[in-house]
Structure 1
């Protein structure tokens, strides 16, 4: 079997940070925006969704509650155990480049994790190609990536530039897209690949998918600190914010300012 995760990435996820990351602050905005996009691109329930890199089931849980049949495939044993315990969700260990799934067995496939842990372009295309194999003709594949400039902005927002070790990590990501946290510093994100806005659609297209479209998840609002917290605490303001972000989600001039991007594409129908 192809090695699924490097030791520092596995250690990062085994610490359990993903379980609560999307519940508050910028993580909460990421979840709400991703969910907003999913409600518009997924087929209606009870469609079958394969959630690749689905971790502990942050999206699998609400999808199952909405009536979808959800299968989580993840390389971290603790994630698989947690996801499998959710009502309406099944889970298995697996590799995004060699999914333990039959051809055309899913109505939609989510790649919300694998693409930013595959630094080699050929491996990312292999993950898109596997998703294309698993989804039915005409079905949607949605892939999440981290923006090339996320750590540059994060260094200011969270004060990381005060630590000299962070500067070369950012410089490396800007040079070739690879965020190298090989020392496993726990206060920073683990080793990953950060995409330029035009890259994920090109990768999906090369893998044989069609109609690729990329949208910003948070836009630049993830950098607004306490003001974002105030909006998220108010249901009315949150609704306004989500509506406004929906209106500009595919504005090319703003894509690079978002921390995360979502790309949707489809397996060609016969």
Structure 2
């Protein structure tokens, strides 16, 4: 396939060009971001095949996950539409990185053991584009290979802003409630996020199926822990952090609680 420039909205590129995503997920970042990172790592380490696996990290940002995947012994290629992210990821040991679009991958058919989409589905607001990205993942993963995609849950912003007490501001409440109707988060000048899609768990499984991926499981990333007072202190204490992660594991695939997490991981496989 011929490589083409990523077709990403300027508002999205500008949001990530600020360079804050890397720090959000690493040690020292916000509690919810650190919990998201550790829990994503926790789930993936249980799902991935033994190293060395060929992993394509699509929309992998600055390489926060590619870094530990490479350290675990996997062969990692990262693709991202944000030039700053590609520059940051390219500095990491044993990680190769290039600009690219999740909907138009240049990788060969069946060339990877695992394809991760831990960011692209956040910002593809049209179902056809999300299915296309998943279909590209299905194309480049080997038969029987693993595809894992992250989505933002439909009620994540409602939960987050209520916890922060910002939901009591009428304008913020009106904006948040508008998003609940169809999951479309619009661009707002000076807002706290950019153009995005907030998905329902069953919506994601339907898109996997349409892309010819067999769904194997769904995993709530943060559970209810991210909404609790004291979570920052818990995460700063290594022993308590492990207890929080273990608690999240107990409910990670409980259907009635999937929507309480800020983020959801959906795992599937290429059938043939």
Cα RMSD over matched residues?
A: 1.4
Q: Which residue does the alignment assign to 2:190?
A: 185
Distance in 2 (CA, whole Å) between partners of 1:92 and 1:249 is 33
2:87 to 70, 81, 88: 81
The equivalent position to 2:23 in structure 1, one of 20, 35, 50, is 20
CA distance in 2, matches of 1:63, 1:262: 17
Answer yes or no: is the 8 Å Cα contact 1:60–1:89 preserved in 2.
Answer: yes
Q: What is the match of residue 264 of structure 2?
A: 261
Q: What is aligned with 2:225?
A: 221
What residue is the counterpart of 1:146 in the other structure?
152
Q: Give how far 1:161 is off.
A: 2.9
Secondary structure of the residue that 2:78 maps to in structure 1?
Answer: strand
Q: Which runs of 5+ in 1 are unaligned?
A: none
Q: 8 Å contact 1:215–1:263 — kept in the other structure?
A: yes
Query: Which position in structure 1 is the counterpart of 2:204?
Result: 200
Which segment is superposed worse, 168-177 or 190-199? 168-177
The 1:2/1:171 distance shift into structure 2, 3 A limit, reads farther
| TM-score, normalisation: structure 1 | 0.94
Provide the secondary structure at the position in 2 that maps to 1:99: coil
Structure 2 CA distance, aligned partners of 1:263 and 1:184? 31
List per-residue Cα deviations over 1:212-268 (Å, max 9, x = no partner). Answer: 42110001111114x111211222211122112112111111111110000000001
Assess if the C-alpha contact under 8 Å between 1:205 and 1:212 holds in 2.
no
Query: What is the alpha-carbon distance in structure 2 between the residues aligned to residue 172 and residue 2 of structure 1?
Result: 32
Q: Does the 8 Å CA contact 1:201/1:212 hold for their aligned counterparts? A: no
> For residue 7 of structure 1, what is the aligned residue in structure 2?
10
Take 2:130 and 2:175, find their aligned partners in 1: how far apart are those partners? Answer: 21
TM-score, structure 2 as length reference: 0.94
Alpha-carbon deviation of 1:2? 7.3
Q: 2:100 aligns with which of 94, 98, 121?
A: 94
SS at match of 2:104: coil
